[in-house]
């Protein structure tokens, strides 16, 4: 999707995160568990470390042809198409081709830092935590069948859905 796009890495991989940003899963862990119906970022795997995809490939958690909800950890539909992102105005002029929070997170995890983008995405990540509170309030501990859509969404935002 992006051609000729470059960015600088200014931090070590997986280190020196903003103090308000404490994801519970790395991109590699998320992919191996099953996120985004196996489809997200499959056409730009060369941008990210190959080892991020190895476990997901072994577990058949990627689907290069089409989105497959059964590949998600909770086996349910969990994502919106890029056209919806464009319609909602979630693609910003600062990063016009970014495909949402997870692509930003992958780049951030690699060491890319952009104060404007980082502030926006970390704020979105923190706001998503409200779903964790709803699961804790409405589900018995360990009942993974309770609110599977919210649990899948939490996983896709690097929160632990297994509470």
Per-residue pLDDT, 45:
77
- In tens digits, the chain (163 residues) has pLDDT values of 556 678 899 999 999 999 999 999 999 999 999 999 888 777 777 889 999 999 999 999 998 888 899 999 999 998 777 677 778 776 666 665 566 788 899 999 999 999 988 998 999 999 999 999 999 999 998 899 999 999 999 999 999 999 8
For the chain, the distance separating the N- and C-terminal CA atoms, rounded to the nearest angstrom, is: 36
Structure tokens that stand for 50 in this block? 């190959």
Task: In whole angstroms, give the CA distance from residue 55 to residue 89.
Answer: 34
The predicted pLDDT at position 97 comes to 57
What is d(CA 82, CA 123) in angstroms, rounded to the nearest whole number?
21
3-state secondary structure of 129: coil
Neighbours of 103 (CB within 10 A): 21
- Give the per-residue pLDDT at 51: 93
Q: What are 124's two structure tokens? A: 């979105």
* Six-digit token string for 33: 């568990």
- C-alpha to C-alpha distance for 57 and 60, rounded to whole angstroms: 5
What distance in Å separates the CA atoms of residue 115 and residue 69, rounded to the nearest whole number?
34
User: Among 86, 87, 106, which Cα is nearest to 42's?
Assistant: 106
């Amino acid at each position: 999707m992006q051609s000729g796009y470059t960015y600088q890495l200014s931090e070590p991989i997986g280190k020196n995160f903003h103090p308000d940003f404490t994801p519970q899963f790395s991109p590699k862990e998320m992919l191996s568990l099953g996120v985004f119906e196996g489809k997200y970022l499959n056409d730009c795997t060369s941008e990210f470390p190959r080892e991020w995809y190895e476990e997901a490939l072994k577990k058949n958690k990627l689907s290069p042809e089409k989105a497959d909800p059964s590949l998600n950890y909770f086996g349910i539909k969990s994502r919106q198409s890029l056209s919806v992102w464009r319609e909602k105005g979630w693609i910003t002029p600062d990063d016009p081709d970014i495909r949402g929070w997870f692509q930003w997170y992958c780049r951030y995890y690699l060491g890319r830092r952009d104060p404007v983008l980082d502030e926006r995405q970390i704020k979105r990540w923190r706001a998503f935590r409200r779903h964790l509170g709803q699961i804790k309030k409405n589900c018995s501990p360990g009942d993974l069948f309770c609110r599977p859509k919210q649990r899948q969404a939490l996983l896709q935002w690097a929160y632990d859905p297994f509470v």
